[in-house]
Structures are given as structure tokens and as C-alpha cells.
Amino acid sequence: MNMKRYLPPLSFVLSLIAAVVLAVVVFDPPELPNLSEVRPHTIANVRDSWQLGNAIVLVRHLERCDRSEAPCLEGEDGITARSVGVGMALGEDFLQLGLGRAVVYNSPLARTDQTADVLFGGYSSDRDWLYHCRKNETLLNDIIHFKQPGTNLVLVTHSTCIARFEQSLGFSSDTPEYGTAIFLDMDVGVKRPQVLGFLDVEDWETVHGVAESLLIPDMD
């Protein structure tokens, strides 16, 4: 018996492989890179992006009080009092990055507004689109619209908005921890931001190599 008759054509095999690969990509999207686990050249990309004013950073608000038994800072719709110390340390990390070439916006809800106050003092201002993105898949378009060349954009927002944003870029949407910062790069002339990775609050201090690589003099 001539077995060659029963072998499928090469084009069919290649098409089948392509379909399997596509299914894996669609149904199992990649996770965001953890900046505490990446190679030094990726950290260098983050450093260069911030220095050039190409960085976009999404920060999830600090611990919300209505889902905790800990005392509230001010009102049940805000953050917990115990999260203030964490937020102040995170604010110092951003100060070491340098805020001279950055604008900071926050959702007007109490928990994001209080988080912005703890991290950035009066440097942040409310933007309604960082609240409405919880129900609408608009955050990507808003970021592209409001990102100015040569100016880093820092956004204090909600896990729901971050999840929708990650999905719009083709990544899985695991809920980030309180205070997690997601770094992206958007160079001049580029239509969509490039994901660099995320950094959890504790990793700014515990992963010294990452933190030191991100330290940049203030551009003021």
C-alpha cells in the first residue's frame, strides 16, 4: 500500500498549525512582564522611556476601605489608614524617578483621589475619564489622546479600568495589587503604547537592582 496517498498535503498541515497557534494566542493571552523578574535591558528601556518623557504609568489606588476591616483614612469610600505609609513610600519612589517631565491625573472617586494626594500631594488633578473607564473600554483611546510628546503621563485609576486596558492591548487581565504600577512606552509618532511591564509596591524596595536602575535625576 502506498502510504503517501493518505498523507495530508503540506498546505493543510501548515494551516492547521497556524489555527492552533492563533487559538492559543486568542484564548490564552500573555501576561504582563514582571519588572522584578526581567533582564537588565528591559529595565534600561523603562529608564530611557521615563528620561525621554515617553512613559505612561497606570497606578492602581491604595487599599480601599469598604473591602477591609482596617480603619478608614477618611470615609468608607476612601482608602485605609494603614495604606498611607505604603503610599508615601511609593510616592518617594516616583520622586526619585523625577516628576519634572510628568503630569499626574487621577479618577475623582474618593479612593483614587486620596491615593493621588498621598503619593503626589497637590501635583495630581481629577479627570472624569479615569472613572468612566470602569464601564467603558475607552482608556486606551483616552491615553493616546492625552499623552503629550516629551511628557510622562501618570494615571491613578481602578483595577477594572486597568483590566480593560490590558485586554485592549492583548494581555491577560489579572487584577493588580493595590498600588501596582504598570509601565508603558509611547514614542513620538507611534499609534499605540508598548507595554514594558509592572512593578508591585513591595518590589520597588525589595528588588534593589530594579529600583536603582530606575533612579533618574529630576528634570526640573
Q: What is the pLDDT of residues 142-161, one digit of tens each?
A: 999 999 999 999 999 999 99
pLDDT tier for residue 6 given thresholds of 50, 70 and 90? low
Task: Please report, for the domain that includes residue 130, its CATH number.
Answer: 3.40.50.1240
pLDDT tier for residue 208 given thresholds of 50, 70 and 90? very low
pLDDT of 20 over the 70 cut: no
Assigned domain for 54 exists: yes
Kindly report the number of other CB atoms within 10 A of residue 214's CB atom: 20
pLDDT tier for residue 116 given thresholds of 50, 70 and 90? very high
H helices within the chain, ranges in order? 10-27, 40-52, 83-97, 110-120, 129-132, 139-146, 159-168, 203-206, 208-214
Closest C-alpha among 193, 207, 201, 167 to residue 60: 201
Q: Which triple of cell numbers denotes residue 80?
A: 485605609
How much is the pLDDT for 206? 52
pLDDT of 4 over the 80 cut: no
How much is the pLDDT for 45? 87
Q: Which triple of cell numbers denotes residue 25?
A: 494566542
How much is the pLDDT for 106? 97
Instruction: State the total domains in the chain.
Output: 1
Taking the C-alpha atoms of residue 94 and residue 97, their distance in angstroms, rounded to an integer, is: 5
Percent of the chain with pLDDT over 70: 80
pLDDT tier for residue 117 given thresholds of 50, 70 and 90? very high
pLDDT tier for residue 25 given thresholds of 50, 70 and 90? very low
Mean pLDDT computed over 87-106: 94
Which of 6-10, 123-127, 182-186 bottoms out in mean pLDDT, i.e. has the lowest?
6-10
pLDDT tier for residue 9 given thresholds of 50, 70 and 90? low
Assigned domain for 120 exists: yes
Q: Which triple of cell numbers denotes residue 183?
A: 509601565
Assigned domain for 49 exists: yes
Q: What is the pLDDT of residues 30-41, one digit of tens each?
A: 988 998 887 777
Q: Find cell 490564552 and name the residue.
A: 28
Sheet holding 55-60, edge to edge: 124-126, 102-106, 152-157, 55-60, 181-185, 194-199
Assigned domain for 121 exists: yes
Q: What is the pLDDT of residues 34-81, one digit of tens each?
A: 988 877 778 888 889 999 999 999 999 999 999 999 999 999 999 999
Taking the C-alpha atoms of residue 132 and residue 105, their distance in angstroms, rounded to an integer, is: 14
Assigned domain for 105 exists: yes
Assigned domain for 73 exists: yes
Assigned domain for 5 exists: no
Assigned domain for 196 exists: yes
Percent of the chain with pLDDT over 90: 58
